[in-house]
Structure 1
Amino acid sequence: MAEKSSKEGKKEPKDEVKAAQDGDGSPKSQDPAPGSGLSRKEKQQVREGVRHRPAVVYEIIRVQGEIELRRPVSALWWSGVAAGISIGFSFLTEAALAAALPASEWTSIIAKLGYAVGFLIVILGHQQLFTENVLTAVLPVMARKQVHWLLKMLRLWGIVLAANIAGCAIFALALAYLPITPTHVDAALSEIVDTVMRNTPAEMFAKGIGAGWLIAALVWILSSTEHVEFIVIGLLTYLIALFGFTHIVAGSVEALYGVFTGSVGLEPAVFRFFLPTLGGNVFGGTVLFSVLSYAQVREEIYAEP
């Protein structure tokens, strides 16, 4: 009996660690001290105010990624087409602001605020955007390390990218052939296209890395914060326009508009803009941001519980 009592009274190391953690695996040290004098409501506010650990944010995005990887083709396709159309409003709003503002050194700085509009519609509307999926879809693959999940990721990327470009083409066709915009806005649209297409393929790739990193950072931040989505999306996507970075989906509306209006040839649109920018976005969002994000949480996630 004494031996049995001794075994029952002895805690396993795993039990001690588990007892020292909350339900989400975070240390209980985030609880207020017993003698802090705070009310129950105030103690709850303290718990809610503690920032998520990087490992928790990683798991949130990974789970979201697995949900996306399991979605049916039709759902991905139509959501992706909607995103391609919605992102066109970044191009149109920037041009409309540039046309409406007086000529000045600061005109382009203010006009680039319009670039955030399409991203706000897409992200807040939960539409499928390729560059978002670069991060969310790759984390499950890195965690599972199975060919099955890699094929799921490639399937998702292919469907969403094709759907996004189809939506971009619809929007660009409407701008080019329907009487939607006045002449002075048409001139601003063409100026934006000319500015983008002045980049060499190497510049498209390098600037695409910056855009890929910022969109991946945007996904990471939105998964760890609440009630500031509008500000975060607006700020980080504005930076893409301000720095002249290239985004495969938003930029495709611009390139396709140039093709439909005759100012850009199909070959430069594909080989100067599309392929280098796609490579840069994937590299910035996957090879850099995703790998580094995984590296910082790998030991925490796979540590012995």
Structure 2
Amino acid sequence: MDTENSGKTPNLSADEEHDINKHQPPRAAVLHEIIRQQGDQELERSIAALFWSALAAGLTMGLSLMGMGLLTSRLPSEETFKVITSFGYCAGFLAVILARQQLFTENTLTAVLPIMSKPTVKNVGRLLRLWGVVLVGNLVGTLLVAYVMLHLPIFDTPTDEAFLEIGRKVMENDASQMFAKGIVSGWMIATMVWMIPSMESAKMWIIILITYLMALGDFTHIVVGSAEVSYLVFAGELSWHDFWMIFAGPTLAGNIIGGSCIFALISHAQIRSDTNYPPKKTNG
């Protein structure tokens, strides 16, 4: 007797069986393999291709600062309106991810799974190469867009002041808070990356949901935050020392731990645990 199918609904046609299988969500192992293959492809890209894509992503992430600033300057200053202004934060992530540009915090999961699957010195070197190039490209892009937004006559005075207030809000955190909030942010981005392959048709809503919650929670993100905080530096309100030591360093460490050391490691351990058990045999 087939014990696995003993509870199965009787009298299903072949077409009905096919419909049932089609509507089953993909197993975690399938999501793992999709993301692992994507990461392997990214690790194979040339330095030039990675850098230009990362630079474009850094520039595009300026849309998050722009979106929040424009909404903030056009709404009353009460804290309750943050539920609306936080939607501006989603703009940069939507544009970067849908355009398939290189975002560092995506690669804390995507590019890490191939290394966890095959932990060789060569693969670790490939990961560090990708991380280094993408991080530099992202930061150059965000610093450039922050400088342009401040120094070119693009926005009105209330919007310029809103940009400054956004940066000041980030810098209310000390280094330990930057680190802790960065862990949550890295974990949330990794969760988003893991969810997207199983629900491609809802990709836009997944991105909006995750990044909107990040904005509401004031969680720190190395790429968006570098645009927000460098705006203060270029305006003369903050030193580069504070930019790197209070914001960038702790936030970067937190993002990596949240995305790689927590989410990616646990997700990979789950898949390894599943594959340690051979499939059950059924009696004919």
TM over 0.5: yes
- Match of residue 98 from structure 1: 72
- Match of residue 253 from structure 1: 227
CA distance in 2, matches of 1:222, 1:46: 21
Residue 103 of structure 1 and its aligned partner are, at CA, apart by 3.3
Cα shift readout 1:155-177 (whole Å, capped 9, x = no counterpart): 00000000000111110111111
CA distance in 2, matches of 1:100, 1:43: 54
2:57 and 2:141 in contact (8 A); partners too:
yes
CA distance in 2, matches of 1:59, 1:144: 13
Residue 37 of structure 1 and its aligned partner are, at CA, apart by 4.2
Residue 33 of structure 1 and its aligned partner are, at CA, apart by 6.2
CA distance in 2, matches of 1:287, 1:37: 46
**2:184 aligned to which of 188, 210, 222:** 210
- Match of residue 159 from structure 1: 133
Structure 1 runs, 4 residues or longer, greater than 6 Å off: none
- Match of residue 11 from structure 2: 35
Percent sequence identity is: 43
Cα shift readout 1:181-205 (whole Å, capped 9, x = no counterpart): 1100011100001110111000000
- Match of residue 133 from structure 1: 107
Q: Which structure 2 residue ranges, 5 or more long, are not aligned?
A: 280-284
Q: Does 2:54 align with 1:71?
A: no
Q: TM-score, normalised by structure 1?
A: 0.86
- Partner-residue secondary structure (3-state), 1:106: helix
- Amino acid paired to 1:77: F
Structure 1 vs Structure 2 CA RMSD: 1.8
- Partner-residue secondary structure (3-state), 1:174: helix
**1:201 aligned to which of 175, 187, 190:** 175
- Amino acid paired to 2:29: A
Distance 1:303 1:143, change over 3 A: farther
Residue 244 of structure 1 and its aligned partner are, at CA, apart by 0.7
CA distance in 2, matches of 1:55, 1:131: 22
State the number of aligned residues.
275
**1:190 aligned to which of 164, 169, 179:** 164
- Amino acid paired to 2:88: G
- Match of residue 282 from structure 2: none
- Partner-residue secondary structure (3-state), 2:265: helix
2:58 and 2:223 in contact (8 A); partners too:
yes
2:184 and 2:219 in contact (8 A); partners too:
yes
CA distance in 2, matches of 1:85, 1:231: 23
CA distance in 1, matches of 2:246, 2:171: 8
2:168 and 2:229 in contact (8 A); partners too:
no
Residue 299 of structure 1 and its aligned partner are, at CA, apart by 2.6
- Match of residue 13 from structure 1: none
- Match of residue 239 from structure 1: 213
CA distance in 2, matches of 1:87, 1:45: 41
Residue 35 of structure 1 and its aligned partner are, at CA, apart by 2.1
RCO higher in 1 or 2 (8 Å CA, sep ≥ 6)? 2
CA distance in 2, matches of 1:289, 1:158: 21
CA distance in 1, matches of 2:21, 2:137: 42
**1:143 aligned to which of 117, 121, 126:** 117
Larger of the two Rg values belongs to structure:
1
Q: TM-score, normalised by structure 2?
A: 0.93
Greater displacement, 102-111 / 80-89: 102-111
Q: Which structure 1 residue ranges, 5 or more long, are not aligned?
A: 1-19, 21-27
Cα shift readout 1:68-87 (whole Å, capped 9, x = no counterpart): 00011111011000000111
